[in-house]
Amino acid sequence: MDFLDLPPLTAAQGTIRLPGSKSISNRVLLLAALAEGETELRDLLESDDTARMLDALRALGVGVEALGDHAYRVRGVGGRFPVREGSFFLGNAGTAYRSLTGVLALAGGNYTLTGVPRMHERPIGDLVDALRQIGADIAYLGNTGYPPLEIRPASIRPGGVVRVRGDVSSQFLTGLLMALPLTGVETTVEVVGELISKPYIEITLATMARFGVPVTRSGWQRFSVPAGAVYRSPGVLHVEGDASSASYFLALGAVGGGPLRVEGVGRDSIQGDVRFAEALQQMGARIELGDNWIEARAPAAGRLRGIALDCNHIPDAAMTLATVALFAEGPTTLTNIASWRVKETDRIVAMATELRKLGVTVEEGGDFIRVHPPARLADLVPAAIDTYDDHRIAMCFSLAAFGTPLRINEPNCVAKTFPDYFERFTAVTAAVPVIAIDGPSASGKGTVAARVAAALGWHYLDSGALYRLTALAARRAGVDWDDEAGVAAIAAALDVRFAEDSIRLAGEDVGETIRSEEISAGASRVAALPAVRQALLFRQRAFRRAPGLVGDGRDMSTVIFPDAATKVFLTASVEARAERRYKQLIEKGMPASIQPLLQDMRERDERDSQRSVAPLQQSADARLLDTTHLSIDQAVAEVLRFSGQSPR
Ligand code: DC
């Protein structure tokens, strides 16, 4: 899937059972593999990042059996991998790459660790330097300080003090600590520089403790792994829900009303990112915590408030605050986020770039970002958001759909940690409603649709006008109507403004011009070009704004708004339609006679229903409204009745 269009949202409510924590899943997989005994892991995250770890462990000869329903049985190897050589591809899974580097450096085999190009731009030198202090033999296969790495058997000189830098990524300390029990002797790790992302070290220590290795620490500077430490299976282990993934849903509750409850993390979580809930609370959201759940609701009165926050304790979840900031009063400043720069992408740059596409003012610096919300939500600009192969960018920006229709490019990147994110997202959100009206020409669908929109105070989309405007703009630019790529480019760049009583193309009122016979013929030609329809897809969806949209046109209920709550196929006998067209022409003082009109209409119906691109068809879930014997008022009343909406 190249893109996913999210409709603008009106509310969020419900309960989400979270997928397992990525941080915990990849740690417990590795420790279960190294341990003595069999471990049954329950609620393990099943995603790209854990798949990379599972692949590597299996290739190392570890017996791993999927038991179904997110449970796995891992037969531990007791500290020694049966396979002594191999090359492992770890994608962009930082948790897998760093921890396997540590463990394999002490494993006495020949191993090569590679990843996606971005993984090869993410630093690992601090970990390699630390491992070399105890004799590890590690070579850089690309740039010094970065993956890919080659690991060779080495005589490890265990014990003593190992120094590791802690101010770039906490994963270096994690990789080192998890590996050290393999040496069998007491080793002390000294952290050089201020340790960032401390909560992730807490997860490391807690999981090592579950596998029988108590690490003692004094402050965040010195850590001791005891002599004779051996990983032992805890038997059965439940993986907590992912607290970072929880942040998107808690934010949904805070922005979209709620209550939105996430299950799988709560008060007793070992994941630092649960403190995201406190940040939301500071912004005015109402938060409730249980042992194993957290629930978020919008403020009791008024809007969320912008905050200034040092985010060192919630580096991943903090990204979510950057999009929640769109809905707050006053700017939000997130500081101490330098680690964003070495993640799946440079997240400070990515965040700022994509927020600006929404028409928002953003300031950024070496280690901070400040988001100024729009004066009014309606000022947010519909935009196509690039995701940089970064799951969190995709998930964070889904929140912006509360302000505007949105396109998320390459949405499948969420598979890194949350493969069915968007399905779950859709299940707990309500979208701005759409009434989609289709039907043959001269059925009166345009008139009825516009009248229904006026009655409800909703927006109105005359999709045919977009094809007419495209035909006109192409003609003016000297582009042939059959030049598919050329016309599609014109359609994509169309500068149109729809107002109460005018349609402007590049500033000029063309409301009359686009109704001419010549442009009608051109519209019908360009509308048959798939690339043109594709180019107008998001533009049409962008008309969907609160409180609602009535759209009329050929594929309104099938392609443009398949989720429309009300779909109507408006028709009338061909005789009645010819008669209506005849009256229209006579009223305009134009010459007309009924027989040729009837003939013309029959042929057009035939052509329209036979054409391969967007043929005229009643979609299976549309309600048929035959207006042969109805007045316009009656037809409008019927559509309103179908929709269940009351006129204002
Ligand atoms: O509804 P209209 O006559 O203004 O439409 C102009 C042309 O565009 C007509 O040939 C039908 C075509 N059209 C389409 O293919 N898909 C739409 N959604 C709307 C119109």
Confidence band of 609 (pLDDT split at 50, 70, 90):
confident
Separation of 524 CA from ligand 1 center, angstroms? 6
User: In this predicted structure, what is the pLDDT of residue 287?
Assistant: 98
User: In this predicted structure, what is the pLDDT of residue 329?
Assistant: 97
Q: Quote the tokens at residue 455.
A: 């009655």
pLDDT tens, 410-455? Answer: 999 999 999 999 999 999 999 999 999 999 888 889 999 999 999 9
CB 556 within 8 A of CB 570: no
**CB burial of residue 619 (10 Å; 0-12, 13-18, 19+):** middle
> Is the model's pLDDT at 391 over the cut of 90?
yes
In short, whether 269's Cβ falls inside 6 Å of ligand 1 is no
In short, whether 553's Cβ falls inside 6 Å of ligand 1 is yes
Q: What is the mean pLDDT of the chain?
A: 95
Question: Whole-angstrom Cα distance, residue 334 to residue 340?
Answer: 11
In short, whether 468's Cβ falls inside 6 Å of ligand 1 is yes
In short, whether 524's Cβ falls inside 6 Å of ligand 1 is yes
Separation of 555 CA from ligand 1 center, angstroms? 9
3-state secondary structure of 248: helix
Ligand 1 closest atom vs CA 528: 15
Q: Rounded to whole angstroms, what are the CA distances from 226 to 213, 214, 483?
A: 8, 7, 73
> Is the model's pLDDT at 613 over the cut of 90?
no
> Is the model's pLDDT at 1 over the cut of 80?
no
Q: Rounded to whole angstroms, what are the CA distances from 238 to 18, 39, 205, 259, 272?
A: 13, 11, 16, 26, 18
User: In this predicted structure, what is the pLDDT of residue 479?
Assistant: 97
Least confident segment among 56-70, 289-303, 352-366, 604-618: 604-618
> Is the model's pLDDT at 614 over the cut of 80?
no
DSSP state of 622: P
Which residue is it, tokens 């509308």?
527
Average pLDDT over residues 244-270: 97
Nearest protein Cα to ligand 1, atom 13: 464
Nearest protein Cα to ligand 1, atom 6: 464
Nearest protein Cα to ligand 1, atom 4: 464
Ligand 1 closest atom vs CA 552: 18
Q: Rounded to whole angstroms, what are the CA distances from 280 to 104, 252, 428?
A: 40, 11, 19
pLDDT tens, 557-597? Answer: 999 999 999 999 999 999 999 999 899 889 988 888 999 99
**Catalytic site residue from 129, 242, 273, 316:** 316
In short, whether 523's Cβ falls inside 6 Å of ligand 1 is yes
Nearest protein Cα to ligand 1, atom 8: 464
Q: Quote the tokens at residue 393.
A: 């960018």
In short, whether 464's Cβ falls inside 6 Å of ligand 1 is yes
Helices (H), 527-571: 530-535, 537-541
User: In this predicted structure, what is the pLDDT of residue 588?
Assistant: 84
Nearest protein Cα to ligand 1, atom 14: 554
In short, whether 463's Cβ falls inside 6 Å of ligand 1 is yes
Separation of 528 CA from ligand 1 center, angstroms? 9
Choose the residue to mutate in 554, 577, 610 for probing ligand 1, maximizing ligand atoms within 8 Å of C-beta.
554
Separation of 604 CA from ligand 1 center, angstroms? 12
Known catalytic residue at 389 = no
User: In this predicted structure, what is the pLDDT of residue 592?
Assistant: 87
pLDDT tens, 169-220? Answer: 999 999 999 999 999 999 999 999 999 999 999 999 999 999 999 999 999 9
Q: Quote the tokens at residue 501.
A: 């009583």
3-state secondary structure of 597: helix
Question: Whole-angstrom Cα distance, residue 225 to residue 236?
Answer: 24
The β-bridge relationship of strands 383-385 and 434-438 is unpaired
User: In this predicted structure, what is the pLDDT of residue 21?
Assistant: 97
Least confident segment among 2-11, 20-29, 594-603: 594-603
Question: Whole-angstrom Cα distance, residue 345 to residue 413?
Answer: 12
Q: Quote the tokens at residue 583.
A: 């009256």
CB atoms within 10 A of CB 446: 20
CB 65 within 8 A of CB 44: no
The angle subtended at Cα 124 by Cα 120 and Cα 127, nearest 5°, is 160
Ligand 1 closest atom vs CA 614: 15
Q: Quote the tokens at residue 69.
A: 């329903």
User: In this predicted structure, what is the pLDDT of residue 254?
Assistant: 98
β-bridge partners, 87:
112
Q: Quote the tokens at residue 530.
A: 């798939």
> Is the model's pLDDT at 498 over the cut of 90?
no
Q: Quote the tokens at residue 314.
A: 């919630």
Separation of 558 CA from ligand 1 center, angstroms? 14
pLDDT tens, 298-318? Answer: 999 999 999 999 999 999 999
Q: Quote the tokens at residue 215.
A: 């690490």
User: In this predicted structure, what is the pLDDT of residue 357?
Assistant: 98
User: In this predicted structure, what is the pLDDT of residue 466?
Assistant: 97
Domains along the sequence of the chain with CATH: 3-18+240-428 (3.65.10.10), 22-238 (3.65.10.10), 432-458+547-648 (3.40.50.300), 467-534 (no CATH)
3-state secondary structure of 570: strand
Average pLDDT over residues 542-560: 94
Q: What is the widest separation between alpha-carbon atoms in the chain? A: 101
More confident residue, 608 or 339: 339
Separation of 139 CA from ligand 1 center, angstroms? 63
Average pLDDT over residues 520-536: 94
Confidence band of 159 (pLDDT split at 50, 70, 90):
confident
The β-bridge relationship of strands 286-289 and 293-297 is antiparallel
pLDDT tens, 500-527? Answer: 788 999 999 999 999 888 998 899 899 9
Separation of 569 CA from ligand 1 center, angstroms? 15
The β-bridge relationship of strands 110-114 and 149-152 is antiparallel
Secondary-structure percent of the chain, ordered helix, strand, coil, rounded to 5 = 40, 25, 35
Helices (H), 558-618: 574-587, 594-610
Please name the amino acid found at residue 12.
A
Average pLDDT over residues 97-116: 97
3-state secondary structure of 249: helix
- Please name the residues in contact with 246: beta carbons below 8 A apart, sequence gap of 6 or more: 18, 262, 264, 265, 273, 274, 276, 294
> Is the model's pLDDT at 143 over the cut of 80?
yes
Separation of 467 CA from ligand 1 center, angstroms? 6
Nearest protein Cα to ligand 1, atom 9: 524
pLDDT tens, 318-333? Answer: 999 999 999 999 999 9
Q: Minimal CA–CA distance to 605: which of 408, 382, 439?
A: 439
Give me the percent of the chain exceeding a pLDDT of 70.
100
Choose the residue to mutate in 437, 441, 463, 580 for probing ligand 1, maximizing ligand atoms within 8 Å of C-beta.
463
Separation of 305 CA from ligand 1 center, angstroms? 45
In short, whether 554's Cβ falls inside 6 Å of ligand 1 is yes
Give me the percent of the chain exceeding a pLDDT of 90.
90
User: In this predicted structure, what is the pLDDT of residue 617?
Assistant: 81
Nearest protein Cα to ligand 1, atom 20: 464
In short, whether 527's Cβ falls inside 6 Å of ligand 1 is yes
Choose the residue to mutate in 524, 526, 550, 611 for probing ligand 1, maximizing ligand atoms within 8 Å of C-beta.
524
Question: Whole-angstrom Cα distance, residue 331 to residue 334?
Answer: 10
Separation of 361 CA from ligand 1 center, angstroms? 38
User: In this predicted structure, what is the pLDDT of residue 382?
Assistant: 96
H or E element: which one contains 462?
A: strand 459-462
CB atoms within 10 A of CB 423: 8
